Amino acid sequence: MNLFLSMVVPENTDCEKQKKLNIDESIFVRIAANDMAAFETFYRLTERTVYAFVLATVKNHDDALDVVQDTYLKIRAAAHLYKPMGKPMAWVFTIARNLSISKLRFRQKNDSIEVGDLENDLNFSYVSDSEDRLMLQAALKILSSEETEIILLHALSGFAHREIAENLGIPLSTVLSKYHRGLKKLKKFITDRR
């Protein structure tokens, strides 16, 4: 079963748990001291999560890659400013969100061409499974940015709903309602396409 379909129609809820991000906040001290091994470790642990988060906002693979790169450059440059609060990903998400918004503003100012039909868009050519590509395109079209962020953070990165609420700074009830509303939209989309 493909990734997006499995989000909407789980095969088995008791299946293997997705790995959780366990970030030791002292890693930022090491990154600030120019410890490249610490930076590489942090990157490897968080890259998929940050990409999913950014893609939900910018809705374009190439722009998401640019923003992810800028996010890690910013993290490396500002690691000395990190204040341990028990929520390292909230700090990372704040940086990524601000850079995503800046990218969107820049794109709106400089692009007079509207985004074309996503089915013919080569930006999604990196997704090899055709069902996954269709679901990603649908998600980016029919879901709000917040719904997409929440679903991708839960499905791809393994964050629990409580962790998503803490990291995004929104109530758990809002996360749950947006998650379930987004899944309903995707399920309806899938059902209507069959």
| Class of residue 163 by CB neighbours under 10 A (exposed 0-12, middle 13-18, buried 19+) | buried
Lowest mean pLDDT among 7-11, 14-18, 39-43, 145-149: 14-18
Q: At CB < 8 A and 24+ separation, what contacts does 71-80 make? A: 71/95, 71/96, 71/99, 72/39, 72/43, 74/99, 75/31, 75/42, 76/31, 76/39, 79/28, 79/29, 79/31, 79/32, 80/28, 80/32
Interatomic CA distance for residues 71 and 97, integer angstroms: 9
| pTM for the structure as a whole | 0.63
The pLDDT tens digits for 106-156 are 877 665 444 444 344 444 444 556 666 666 666 677 888 888 888 878 876
Q: What does the alpha-carbon distance between residue 8 and residue 180 come to, in Å, rounded to a whole number?
A: 10
Q: Residue 189 pLDDT > 70, yes or no?
A: yes
Residue 129: DSSP 8-state: S
pLDDT band for position 27 (cuts 50, 70, 90): very high
Nearest-CA neighbor of 113 among 165, 157, 160, 60?
60
- Sketch out the chain's domains with CATH numbers: 22-113 (1.10.1740.10), 124-194 (1.10.10.10)
pLDDT higher for 192 or 99? Answer: 99
Greater pLDDT, 119 or 186: 186
- Closest C-alpha among 78, 79, 55 to residue 152: 55
